[in-house]
């Protein structure tokens, strides 16, 4: 489209800014930068702008241009620490891994949409790590629009959790209470800041505080403006996570065995423990994820056909890593073939993470059985959420690496 080409060539993208405030006293926390095309043009508003970019296959170019415009606009309006600049990244472009530098004077947070989390979780992890290495914090946007994100949220460990506007604008329901409870638990565990979007009335602002939000955003406070209005800044801090990702070639058994007691058991015992964990994941359906690796092709094929294909229809995320994994897997099931020289070869791992629950089996073959004997494993079983999340991240990174290198992953 010629108009889009001209916008990108001439640098006529701009940002308008909507304030984010302290819900207790109305003090200013920062601004969200919202992209706009040239005023009065057919591509002034972001829905048409990004639709045109998708059609023209220029989504990455547009995303990067919007991010640059946001940072430039923030600098021109002196939006700097202690204020925070929120910048959106288009998930289809994976652009948040290539954010512009923000410098020491600017405090920036990049927003990921909830749909990104549910569609590209494995690929998000390394991109988020790169963004954090560049000084950016991470916000998860629209939380509550899709309950699957509640299981995935711990793997991203967002610094800011933005409650979807329906949580503030709709009447209370058991579903909303469950979502808010999961968000509160994540914030309590990690120190994440909770922000409520879509606040249009004083009552909604008060209700947002009751839901656990300390920050708010919406027309009740201000509409987006090219020149943001400045008020006194809030003293609410914004802790940015400095946690690093585990090395993807470390196995769950390696990561966890130094912190939990090791037992010994045979394949039938591990199969029974695995089945119980799979049942736990199935009971929680859309608010749980499971990622597993298996030591043998025969065991994998049986579990894929009888269990994992079914789990893939309901759970937030289902992943399987194993030797001899079938080349074609059911939609929703992510898989990677384990090669002979892979440290995962000979290990058995089942990881389940839910909004309020986490459990893991991590095992490693011990010696070689005699003919007619069952394989013996050294194994551990734990409910230690922190180590379970770390082990899940390691397996997720393997899936992301296979996709990036194109080394024949099963999908």
Counted domains in the chain: 2
Is 368 found in the same domain as 264? yes
Last residue of a domain, one of 193, 216, 239: 216
Would residue 87 count as lying in a domain? yes
Q: Which domain holds residue 147?
A: 2-216
Instruction: Note the pLDDT of residue 205.
Output: 97
Distance of CA 308 to the CA centre of its chain: 22
Given this model, what pLDDT does residue 407 score? 47
- Domain membership of residue 332 (yes or no) is yes
Is 239 among the domain residues?
A: no
> 329-348 pLDDT, tens per residue?
788 888 888 988 899 999 99
Asked if residue 264 and residue 366 are part of one domain, the reply reads yes
Asked whether residue 107 falls in the same domain as residue 182, the answer is: yes
Q: Is residue 231 part of a domain?
A: no
On whether both 42 and 188 belong to a single domain, the answer is yes
Task: Give the pLDDT of residue 410.
Answer: 41
Strand partners, 15: 35
Looking at the structure, tell me whether residues 113 and 39 fall in a common domain: yes
pLDDT given at position 91: 58
Please check whether residues 194 and 269 belong to one and the same domain.
no
Both 17 and 116 in one domain: the answer is yes
Q: Do 339 and 401 belong to one domain?
A: yes
pTM metric for this prediction: 0.89
Residues 79 and 196 in one domain: yes
Residue-level pLDDT at 404: 55
169 in the same domain as 114: yes
Do 200 and 276 have their domain in common? no
Residue 73 in any domain: the answer is yes
pLDDT at 403: 60
Per-residue model confidence (pLDDT) at position 96: 63
Query: What is the domain-level CATH number for residue 48?
Result: 3.20.20.450
Asked whether residue 192 falls in the same domain as residue 262, the answer is no
- For every one of its 411 residues, what pLDDT tens digit does the chain have, with 9 covering 90 and above? 789 999 998 889 999 999 999 999 999 999 999 999 999 999 999 899 989 998 998 888 888 899 889 999 999 999 988 999 999 886 555 556 567 777 778 899 999 877 767 777 888 888 888 888 888 999 999 998 888 888 889 999 999 999 999 999 999 999 999 999 999 999 999 999 999 999 999 999 999 999 999 999 999 999 999 998 888 888 888 888 888 888 888 999 999 998 899 999 998 999 999 999 999 999 888 889 999 999 876 667 778 878 898 899 889 999 999 988 876 778 888 888 898 889 999 999 999 999 889 999 999 999 877 777 888 999 999 999 999 999 999 999 998 887 655 444 343
> Is the residue at 241 inside a domain?
no
Q: Is 298 a member of any domain?
A: yes
CATH number at residue 397: 3.30.870
């Amino acid at each position: 489209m010629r108009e889009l080409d001209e916008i990108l060539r001439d640098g006529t993208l701009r940002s308008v800014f909507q304030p984010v405030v302290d819900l207790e006293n109305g003090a200013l926390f920062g601004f969200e930068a919202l992209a706009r095309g040239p005023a009065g043009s057919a591509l002034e508003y972001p829905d048409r702008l990004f639709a045109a970019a998708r059609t023209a296959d220029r989504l990455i170019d547009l995303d990067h241009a919007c991010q640059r415009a946001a940072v430039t606009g923030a600098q021109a309006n002196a939006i700097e620490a202690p204020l925070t600049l929120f910048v959106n990244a288009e998930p289809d472009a994976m652009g948040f891994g290539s954010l512009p530098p923000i410098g020491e004077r600017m405090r920036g947070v990049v927003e990921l949409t909830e749909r990104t989390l549910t569609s590209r979780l494995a690929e998000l992890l390394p991109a988020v790590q790169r963004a954090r290495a560049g000084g950016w914090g991470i916000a998860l946007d629209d939380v509550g629009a899709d309950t699957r994100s509640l299981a995935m949220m711990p793997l991203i460990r967002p610094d800011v959790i933005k409650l979807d506007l329906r949580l503030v604008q709709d009447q209370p329901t058991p579903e909303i209470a469950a979502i808010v409870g999961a968000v509160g638990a994540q914030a309590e565990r990690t120190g994440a800041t909770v922000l409520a979007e879509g606040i249009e009335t004083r009552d909604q602002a008060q209700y947002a505080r009751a839901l656990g939000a300390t920050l708010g955003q919406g027309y009740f406070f201000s509409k987006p403006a090219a020149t943001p209005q400045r008020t006194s800044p809030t003293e609410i801090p914004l802790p940015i996570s400095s946690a690093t990702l585990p090395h993807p070639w470390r196995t769950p058994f390696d990561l966890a065995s130094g912190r939990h007691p090791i037992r010994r058991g045979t394949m039938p015992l591990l199969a029974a423990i695995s089945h119980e964990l799979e049942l736990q994941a199935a009971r929680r359906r859309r608010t749980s994820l499971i990622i597993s690796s298996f030591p043998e092709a025969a065991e994998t094929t049986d579990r894929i056909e009888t269990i994992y294909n079914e789990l893939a229809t309901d759970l937030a995320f289902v992943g399987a890593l194993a030797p001899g994994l079938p080349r074609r897997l059911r939609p929703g099931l992510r898989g990677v073939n384990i090669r002979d020289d892979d440290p995962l070869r000979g290990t058995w791992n089942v990881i389940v993470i839910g909004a309020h629950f986490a459990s893991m089996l991590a095992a490693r073959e011990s010696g070689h059985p005699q003919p007619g004997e069952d394989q013996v494993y050294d194994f551990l079983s734990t409910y230690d959420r922190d180590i379970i999340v770390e082990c899940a991240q390691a397996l997720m990174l393997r899936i992301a690496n296979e996709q990036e290198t194109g080394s024949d992953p099963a999908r």
